[in-house]
Amino acid sequence: MKILAVHNFHRKGSASGDDQVFKSETAMLESHGNTVVRYSVSNDEFDNAGAAGKVNAVFGMLWSKKNYKAVQELINAEKPDLVHVHTFFPLLSPSVLYAAKRLGVPVVATLHDTRFVCPCATSLRGTELCNECGDGHYMRMCKYGCFKGSKMQSLIVAQIFGYHRKKRSFYEQIDRYICLNDNQINLLKGIGFDEKKIVKKYNFVTDAEASSTAVKVDGLPDRYVVFYGRIGEEKGIRMLMKAWDKISDIPLVVMGGGPLENEFSAWAENKSNVFYLGYTEHNKCLSIVKGAEFVVFPSIWYEGCSMVEIETMSLGKALIATDLGFSVEAVTEGYNGTKFALGSLDGFVSCINTLWNDPEKCRLMGANARKEYESKYMPEDNYRQLIGIYNSVTGK
């Protein structure tokens, strides 16, 4: 099968899960003998553009003539069986969906976030969950400055999504939606998406257990808890900080970078039991996770299918996660981890203390986490599901 895979990468150095999925999924397809033609752009292009280029890019968010033309030229030259779109916003724009459909090529889209419900893709207003814009009245974004805290940028994004809502771009230009969890499915159904077009497929990671061994890192204690991932508001960084303001006897190792890293680093410097390593090369990061007692994941938004959680399970480590989004399905209470209610600091701290003080339970949960990985998140099973989805739209 020949697949045209389309994706808008985040900025260089970003550890975004959709970027990782795009790379791993296309590589997996090729490893099974499929032909993958990649077409991608990066948000770095916007950053590196001059003033005129930035203005053109902003207008292109509504309809990118350049990417529309490029995708059609690729389709005409390569004759793919289908187009698989991952992230299209902001630079690719919905024009890439039309480029495929107008040439009669079926379109599959993976929903890595809640963009079709919330134009900001986070379903957050500040730090509170919000899906009000699912009704299509996007101008309320301007009142709250939902997009990057800017009322002007929110106005632009609201108009873009309002236009495509009226054209029903996301309803009619996509043949199959790959959702990553039940919450996404329910959100789409709630705003009128065709249930027959929706399928669920988890992400996957290669077997980290097979290639990672715990390493002793100078300066780290023998026992510790790990948080790793984006140092951003939506990942629950402030909840993490508040928890360790209450915890003085449990070491925490944190790896990752992001918009709150300077604030977090300054806070960590005053904590003798917090070790902030910043961005850590992936294999080294997994080796450090492998040596942890368990992993904490206090996300405050709807995670699609967190690569961090799947990797943690592949390494045989228990999870403490917010009872929200993908974690609702990923973590079975008392089996491979434990969950706490969104916003419950006391609940989070209690889970940490309870698991830390029961090493045998940690080990048992970790072993169960590994079983969960083997039953749900391995590449071979994922490949069979993905090809099945492709066949359902191509008729092969």
For residue 114, what pLDDT is reported? 96
Taking the C-alpha atoms of residue 9 and residue 43, their distance in angstroms, rounded to an integer, is 6
208-376 folds as Rossmann fold (3.40.50)
Task: Tell how strand 128-129 and strand 176-179 pair up.
Answer: unpaired
Cβ-defined contacts of 54-57 (< 8 Å, 24+): 57/90, 57/91
DSSP assignments along 45-58, one per residue: HHHHS-HHHHHHHH
**In the beta sheet, which residues pair with residue 69?**
none
Average confidence (pLDDT) per 10 residues, the chain, 396 residues: 96 78 97 98 85 82 96 98 97 97 98 96 92 95 92 94 97 98 97 97 89 82 96 96 98 95 97 96 93 97 95 97 97 98 97 98 98 96 98 93
pLDDT in tens, 69-108: 999 999 999 999 999 999 999 999 999 999 999 999 999 9
Asked if residue 90 has a cis previous peptide bond (ω within 30° of 0), the answer is: yes
**Short-list 36, 234, 215, 232, CA closest to 127:** 234
Starting at the edge strand found earlier in the chain, the sheet holding 252-255 runs 274-278, 252-255, 225-228, 294-297, 318-322, 337-340
**Short-list 297, 295, 230, CA closest to 257:** 230
Report residue 232 CA to chain centroid gap: 13
- Judging by beta carbons within 10 Å of its beta carbon (0-12, 13-18, 19+), is residue 153 exposed, middle or buried? middle
SS3 107: strand
2-112+175-204+379-394 folds as Rossmann fold (3.40.50)
Domain boundaries, given as residue ranges, for the chain = 2-112+175-204+379-394, 208-376
Question: Do the domains 208-376 and 2-112+175-204+379-394 match in fold?
Answer: yes
pLDDT in tens, 145-163: 999 899 999 999 999 999 9
Answer for the pair 142, 154: CB distance below 8 angstroms, yes or no: yes
For residue 14, what pLDDT is reported? 62
Place of tokens 């459909």: 101
Answer for the pair 317, 292: CB distance below 8 angstroms, yes or no: yes
Taking the C-alpha atoms of residue 207 and residue 195, their distance in angstroms, rounded to an integer, is 33
What would the two tokens of residue 82 be? Answer: 């289908």
For residue 15, what pLDDT is reported? 62
For residue 77, what pLDDT is reported? 98
pTM: 0.93
SS3 252: strand
